[in-house]
Homo-oligomer: A and B are copies of this chain.
Amino acid sequence: MTATAPETGASCLGPQPPGRRERKKQRTREALIDAAFVLFAEKGFDATTVEEIADAVDVSSRTFFRYFASKEDVALTFQEEQVQAVAAALAARPADEPIMTALRRTAVEIARACEAGELGFEPGRFECMLTLVKDSPALMAGSLEHAQRKQALLTDIVARRMGLDPAADLRPHVVTAAAHCGFQSAADAVGRMGGTFATLSEAVDQAFAILENGLNDPVNPAE
């Protein structure tokens, strides 16, 4: 094995993605995200062009679109991780918790993680994102659409937890949608009424408290 063979056997290196190519790719991707956020913060989302972002990283705008499907996409990457985190956190909650209680604890947990920057992006960036989404209609639309698509994933988890068939029963859909609204309302509130809530997690907790007061009991035939 002193010869040429070992190179192919990357088996012992394990953890890292084997190639250098992968790493380079990852670096480009992150550089694009960084540059995008700097420019967005500077000039606003709409006023920033894809070309500027690409130029800042010294790639062509065509390349930008090989990493991100759209300009909105680059600003909303974090939401992907956020949804995954929510799904994982919800699955980890004890099965005997009432559904809205479980969702409330999950939501608060995630909100705290966002504030602490534990989801793969710095805490400051999260705030920045909230601001951007708040005052760019295009981003708002993208964000809502994204959330809408990801909601199906959570609905399945919620339905399983409630022991209901999501294809036949409205309840899991309404519950999930309400939870999403709660989070959204809380995020809005933090931006809107500056003084009232110091942190997102606080607002989230309060929003879900409101929901919990009645969506809690899943066992009623509804009419």
Contact = CB atoms under 8 A, between A and B. Distances in A.
Main secondary structure of the interface of A (DSSP, over half): helix
Nearest to A175: B210
A53 to B, nearest CB: 21
Given A168-B196, A170-B203, A206-B222, 15 more contacts: A137-B145, A141-B144, A141-B145, A170-B185, A170-B186, A173-B189, A174-B181, A174-B210, A177-B181, A178-B211, A180-B181, A212-B214, A213-B214, A213-B220, A215-B215
Interface of A: 137, 140-142, 144-145, 148, 167-168, 170-171, 173-175, 177-178, 180-182, 184-186, 188-189, 192-193, 196, 203, 205-207, 209-217, 220, 222-223
6 contacts: A140-B145, A170-B189, A175-B210, A178-B181, A213-B222, A215-B215
